[in-house]
Chains A and B, each alone.
Chain A
Amino acid sequence: MPMLEISNLHASVDNGAKPILKGLDLSVPKGEVHAIMGPNGSGKSTLSYVLTGRDGYDVTEGKVSFEGEDIGDLEPEERAARGLYLSFQYPVEIPGVPTLTFIRESLNAQRKARGEEEVSAPDFMRLIREKAAILNVSMDMLKRPVNVGFSGGEKKRMEILQALVLEPRFLILDETDSGLDIDALKVVSEGVNALRSPDRAMLVITHYQRLLDYIAPDKVHVMSAGRIVASGGPELAKELEAEGYDKYVRAA
């Protein structure tokens, strides 16, 4: 049984008026990293929102199971507690809420939902220090409000830092490479690779082959107009880089 199984998924925004996903099939087994590539507007971010249960993104047909459970009716926080994590294409600024507090409260909320004990303040500080070092995130940054005034690259590093602390079972990385210079890309990829494990799976959404040089995928899927139109091995990403999406856009 794949960890994530998406079958014939249709989803709309604007109260059903605007269909975006149009019969999408995808399965990601535990332990694997799959990449989704596709032109702008093909529905990649929409897929990430549908998987994580964002309001306003309605599933009209098909289903999503996560570890054998149909998660279609679960709230975003319930999905998070089951281990679904989305690294946002555009991480959100939350003025007035210190990043440290936010991460600690998130972690404890998830643990509480799973019936686990909360992490004590000193244990949390030890944990966050250890993980922040991997991503070159300073304590000073962690004291600032969530994402407020951070550069694009800092925001992306912060997304991966949160993943390292929350230790999700399934990661969706939505264009985590955008806005990163090559050094930041290396740091972020290192963080992501540290999370690779036989018990975990990942969906790496990207526009460019570049990220996949650092995070080697097991499989690559091409998305166009709300569907997966081609799947293959890592060589498919190289082909897309060389030849572009034209062939698939026309095929869709």
Chain B
Amino acid sequence: MGGIRMTLPLKLTPAETALLDALDGATGWRAATRAALENRGLPNKRDEAWKWTDLRRLTGNITEAGTIAITGTREPDAKLPIRHAPTDILPRLAGALGGEARIYTLSEGESLSLEVTASVGVGHAIYVVEVPTGVSAQVRERLSVADGGFANIAVLYRIGEGASLDRIVSIGDCPGILAVSSGVDLGEGASLRQTTLTFGGKLVRLETHLAHPGAKAEAVMDAVYLLAPNRHADLTTTATISGPEGNLSQLTKGAVASHGHGVFQGKIHVEREAQRTDARMTHRALMLGDRAEIDAKPELEIYADDVQCAHGNALGAIDETALFYMRQRGLPEAQARAILIRSFLAEPLDRIRDPQIRDSLLEDLVTGLEALS
């Protein structure tokens, strides 16, 4: 065959056409975003990073404009237009169509709570959280999307030198489609403890991209997913560690019922300068039925030679022996299953430092389990 590869023009979905219309007359990076969308469409299973999460297919007919309400324990400190274009298409779209970015600058000991609620239709939002040098603070984000909604949210965290942030993200009932792309810039000697809890949605994609300087900074990125039938959750993380003596620990645990679909993609990239990095990534999940689907892709890319890095990935089923043992003691099967799943999934949540938030997420987990049986 010849060397010329022909690509047919992409047949745009109604959702894509609506996005292009919204970007009509755009200039600068917004125009480039429009062109990229026109050429490649929304992320779909032909994109390596989206092979298990076909956003394009599921958003297909959502065309009307929706709204995203962000309410919080307080107003943002500023609202600013986006000047720099993010790289990936979704945060670019969020930047181009989400209006001004809300900027929250946290103060020492602050506990910020944000409630993000998206309506029917397509909505975009972008917010930025700054944790200044040396400040310790906590942010809790709760997100949900209505049936028939597609919410595209870009988040940027800037954690200053020696600062410390506990970030807790929980996705409530989410019959709609949610894509959250979080960039996290970690300063030297800073600490991030991020915990995510999701019950999935029609489609939930949670991306975290961590820029880690090494430099005695520490990052924890934990997550839990529990998926009922027809729920989809995709947890995708990348961590780039660029300097020596950094720490990273990732623990993701999931449980998926028949016809649910869980995805974990984790990539740790350790650059040549990042000697004495200590990085570990674990994903473990339970298939709760024969037709559960779980896809996992843990990756380590290590260019430094003196590092301690490990990753583990294990899929399994409920321990039938334990189940029988519990039933022999009188526990009904559904209750015994729920106890086993809860104890399996609780581990990352147990690592949350704030006892109130920890208990509240554990309660959410129990509620989710009750709904499952």
Contacts and interface: CB of A to CB of B under 8 A. Distances in A.
Contacts of B347: 96
Interface string A71-100: 000011100110001101001111111000
Given A97-B340, A107-B330, A113-B330, 14 more contacts: A55-B324, A77-B331, A80-B328, A80-B329, A80-B330, A85-B328, A88-B325, A92-B325, A94-B325, A96-B347, A102-B326, A103-B329, A106-B326, A162-B329
A178 B320 CA distance: 24
A109 interface: yes
A92 B322 contact: yes
3 closest cross-chain pairs (CB), A and B: A96-B343, A110-B330, A106-B329
Contacts of B31: none
B339 A86 contact: no
Interface in B144-178: none
A109 B333 contact: no
Interface string B343-355: 1101100000000
B122 to A, nearest CB: 41
Contacts of B339: 97, 102, 105
Contacts of A107: 330
A54 interface: yes
Contact of A52 (B321, B328, B332): B328
A77 B333 contact: yes
Interface string A43-61: 0000000001011000000
A97 B329 CA distance: 14
A166 B329 contact: yes
6 contacts: A55-B320, A55-B324, A76-B328, A77-B332, A80-B330, A86-B328
Contacts of B331: 77, 105-106, 109
Nearest to B345: A96
B335 A109 contact: yes
B321 A75 contact: no
Looking at B320, B327, B329, B340, the one whose CB has the most chain A CB atoms below 10 A away is B329
Interface string B211-240: 000000000000000000000000000000
A75 B333 contact: yes
A145 B344 CA distance: 12
Interface string B330-372: 1111010001101110110000000000000000000000000
A112 to B, nearest CB: 9
Contacts of B335: 105, 109
A147 B248 CA distance: 32
B320 A102 contact: no
B327 A80 contact: yes
Tell me the interface secondary structure of chain B in the complex: helix
A54 B324 contact: yes
Contacts of A106: 326, 329-331
B327 A76 contact: yes
Contact of B343 (A55, A88, A91, A97): A97
Interface residues of B, number: 22
A127 to B, nearest CB: 15
Contacts of A80: 327-330
A94 B329 contact: no
B343 A109 contact: no
A155 to B, nearest CB: 11
Contacts of B319: 92
Contacts of A97: 339-340, 343
A162 B325 CA distance: 12
A82 to B, nearest CB: 10
A106 B339 CA distance: 12
B321 to A, nearest CB: 5
A105 B272 CA distance: 53
Contacts of A91: 325
B325 to A, nearest CB: 4
A85 B321 CA distance: 16
Contact of B324 (A76, A93, A96, A110): A76
A96 B339 CA distance: 9
B351 to A, nearest CB: 13
Contact of A96 (B320, B321, B330, B346): B346
Interface in A97-123: 97, 102-103, 105-107, 109-110, 113
A109 B328 contact: no
Given A55-B320, A96-B346, A96-B347, A109 B330 contact: yes
A103 B346 CA distance: 20
A76 B325 CA distance: 9
B279 to A, nearest CB: 25
Given A77-B332, A109-B331, A94 B324 contact: no
A128 B335 CA distance: 22
A80 to B, nearest CB: 4
Nearest to A86: B328
A131 to B, nearest CB: 15
A54 to B, nearest CB: 5
Contacts of B325: 88, 91-92, 94
